[in-house]
Amino acid sequence: MSSLRDLQRQFVEALFDESPDGRAGIEIYRNNLHEGFFKALALEFPVIQRLVGEDYFRQLARSFLHAHPSRAGDLHAIGAPFPDYLRGRFAGTQYAYLPDVAELEWAYEQASIAADAELFDVRSLACVRPDSYGELRFNLHPACYRVRSAYPILRIWQVNQPDADTDLAVDLSMGPDHIVTRRTERGVELVRVQHGDYRLLECFARNETLGEALSTLQRITPAFDLGAALRRLIALGMITNQGALP
């Protein structure tokens, strides 16, 4: 085994070790590791930091670092396991909404970096024969992420924005929430959608045809109005043009 490999393993081991190390250099690199990870995580989950406070968030980041260290040279990826990590810690407690809020923040992050795509043009439906509507497949815009929660996560997210009125209260019984991300010229928006619309997006995400989606939806909500739901989702820019037509 090369000595370079040995040296690198010992070095990284020493940085991840939590017991005191007398060497000044190691302390500086450890501090870089902890602070760099904490700051990157705080950029991705600002609402979680606001909800639990900076000190506790710093502790969370430290234990999360050991459970899920960065696996890439691009720090932007570290947050992916964070919602589930929080679920493991807070499920069944009075803070059970935290993982769902984290999921919403991660969806927001992912939506902000997703690929650009052309929006669905309704006029392209004109050339489809009515008897083949059931065969249509609609593709979701790459920036369309979906999060649902038993808690009012959008309200929690909104009152914890930097410019929000800090006196606003949240009634945790105001859920459930079905939230979808969309991207506009200015950035990402979080949109609350109806339960049926949310389920329709899930059908499309599973690549179901319109016919399959309709029968799924009719089982869940017998009064579901497919045409109205489609128009809403297209107007919101959740559907792309690519590969939609049979």
CA distances from 17 to 14, 41, 63, 79, 119 (A): 5, 20, 12, 22, 50
Q: Which is nearer to other proteins, 72 or 169 (CB)?
A: 72
Instruction: Find the helix packing angle between 3-16 and 24-44, rounded to 10°.
Output: 70
Q: Does 73 bind other proteins (CB under 8 A)?
A: yes
Question: What is the x/- site pattern for other proteins, positions 161-200, by CB under 8 A?
Answer: ----------------------x--xx-------------
Q: Does 19 bind other proteins (CB under 8 A)?
A: no
- Residue owning tokens 């947050």: 79
CA distances from 118 to 44, 96, 135, 237 (A): 27, 38, 21, 9
Q: 213: how many CB neighbours lie within 10 A of its CB?
A: 25
Q: Figure out which of the listed residues 23, 195, 206, 231 binds other proteins, where binding follows CB under 8 A.
A: 23
Rounded least distance, CB 138 to other proteins, Å:
20
237 torsion bin: left (phi>0), alpha (psi -120 to 50), beta (else):
left
Q: Does 3 bind other proteins (CB under 8 A)?
A: yes
Site for other proteins in 88-117 (CB under 8 A): 112-117
Q: Figure out which of the listed residues 24, 127, 169, 223 binds other proteins, where binding follows CB under 8 A.
A: 24
Q: Which is nearer to other proteins, 23 or 195 (CB)?
A: 23
User: Dihedrals φ, ψ of 5, to 5°?
Assistant: -65, -45
Residue count of the chain, please give it.
246
Interface contacts to other proteins, rule CB under 8 A: 2-5, 7-9, 11-12, 15-16, 22-29, 32-33, 36-37, 40, 69-76, 112-117, 142-143, 183, 186-187
